[in-house]
Amino acid sequence: ILSYYHLTLYWRAAARLQDDLEVRLRLVDEAGRAAWASIGTRPVRGQYPTNAWPEGTVVADYHDVPLPAWLPCGEYELEVGLFPRFSDTGLKTGDEATAWLTLDTLEIEPPSGPLPPLPQERRYAFVGGAWLTGYDLAGEASAGTPFAVDLSWRGVETDEQVCLAWADAQGREVEATVFPLTAGAQRSRHLVTAPQAPGGYTLRVGLVGEAARCDWLAPMTDECPLAAVEVSPAPEGLANFADLVILLEAEVGRVNAQPGEIVPVTLRWRALRTMGEDYTAFVQLIGPDGRLHGQVDTWPVQGTRPTSGWTPGEELSDSHEVQLTSDAPPGRYQVRAGLYLLATMQRLQVVGIDGRPVGDSFVIGEFSVGGQ
């Protein structure tokens, strides 16, 4: 993240709302394309659902809008919309036919100095003077799903075109996509699609029309190997959290429990990529009344394994003991798990096989209270 834009929205419900709406923000470039979009959250950092707003009450709703380092320089419009959860049909803004309201115009300028390096370093030199200096991507993907690639650059003096190509285990190119790269870019993000056939692949990178030297004494070539990616036939595990972490397995250690008792829960995680943030794991006990009747929040493995130290492909067993509240009503309970960033209270979204968010937590099991 290059910096943040600090925003407070003030909402007022003209009438009681029945829908549980979420706030979505986006940055729209000069060509009218959404260059960045938030994942969508309930107002007030997820703490004040719209269907709980009293009529006429003003609700202050603060947001940190990240300005990613990979955003090309230029002018952007900051827009806001209110959407039912997991729907693309938002509330219309007055008499307009759009669900988006423009709040401000932002000018993204070049960074004043060098940016921190990406987790994986590279030193690929192109004949036009540009250098690829690093990358960040997941080491595995599901066949046919979107796949984000972050690249870092030095010496990009003119507008270029980046080519990202998939090569199979025999070195044959099976798919390639070209993306624009603006002059002066130090970062770029590109969304490619994983191949349809499972197997081991190499993702290769090049600049269209420019030869590259992939190593100090290597001959010039059109593309350089970026990273090995294992493409699986179907999504593994129970849930994919933002293409950062997969919840592989989960176990709820009680079939029945009484108010005030401990419900043991074991989660098994796998890291998909290097993470620069320390995410908090949460486990919630949701009663038959839809209310929260027990929760734990902690860094994984009793706080001893912060996610910033996980390596791609690493698997961890993460045990939690969740105490039921003393007034927990009888009935069937859901156990939900997820991850969030404490600094912003923003949860990682669970994404489906098409790369679209389907939730911000995952139901890992059930149990009964009161002998039912």
Which domains occur in the chain, in start order? 3-108 (2.60.40), 120-232 (2.60.40.2550), 239-369 (2.60.40.10)
**For residues 266-286, average pLDDT:** 94
pLDDT 10s digits, 216-258: 888 999 999 999 999 988 667 899 999 899 999 999 999 999 9
What is residue 50's three-state secondary structure?
helix
Amino acid identity of residue 57, one-letter, is: T
In terms of pLDDT, which residue wins out, 25 or 112? Answer: 25
The alpha carbon dihedral of 101, 103, 105, 108 has a sign of: negative
Is the pLDDT score of 2 beyond 70?
A: no
Contact call for residues 239 and 281 (beta carbons, < 8 A)? no
Confidence (pLDDT) at 217 = 84
Comparing 70-74, 111-115, 131-135, 182-186, the range with the smallest average pLDDT is 111-115
Confidence (pLDDT) at 42 = 87
Confidence (pLDDT) at 372 = 47
Residue 303 makes CB contacts below 8 A (sequence gap 6+) with none
Tokens of 257: 């429990």
Confidence (pLDDT) at 371 = 60
In terms of pLDDT, which residue wins out, 142 or 126? Answer: 126
Cα→Cα distances 161→83, 221, 309, Å: 35, 16, 34
Is the pLDDT score of 135 beyond 90?
A: yes
**Which 3-state string (H, E, C) describes 316-366?**
EEEEEEEECCCCCCCEEEEEEEEEEECCCCEECCEECCCCCEEECCEEEEE
Burial class (CB in 10 A: 0-12, 13-18, 19+), 247: buried
Confidence (pLDDT) at 266 = 97
The alpha carbon dihedral of 161, 166, 167, 173 has a sign of: negative
Q: Under the phi-then-psi rule, with left for phi > 0, alpha for psi from -120 to 50, and beta for the rest, what region is 276? A: alpha
Tokens of 327: 């007034």
What's the start-to-end Cα distance of the chain, in Å?
Answer: 49
If you average pLDDT over every residue of the chain, what do you get?
91
pLDDT 10s digits, 75-98: 999 999 999 877 788 998 876 778
Burial class (CB in 10 A: 0-12, 13-18, 19+), 241: buried
Confidence (pLDDT) at 330 = 93
Q: Under the phi-then-psi rule, with left for phi > 0, alpha for psi from -120 to 50, and beta for the rest, what region is 26? A: beta
Confidence (pLDDT) at 161 = 97
What percent of the chain has a predicted confidence (pLDDT) above 90? 69
Confidence (pLDDT) at 327 = 94
Confidence (pLDDT) at 98 = 87
Confidence (pLDDT) at 279 = 97
Comparing 56-60, 327-331, 342-346, the range with the smallest average pLDDT is 342-346
Q: Locate the DSSP E strands across 85-237.
A: 101-108, 120-126, 131-136, 140-142, 146-154, 160-167, 173-181, 187-193, 199-207, 212-213, 220-221, 224-232
Is the pLDDT score of 353 beyond 90?
A: no
pLDDT 10s digits, 33-74: 999 988 788 899 878 889 899 999 999 999 989 899 999 989
Confidence (pLDDT) at 325 = 95
Confidence (pLDDT) at 94 = 74
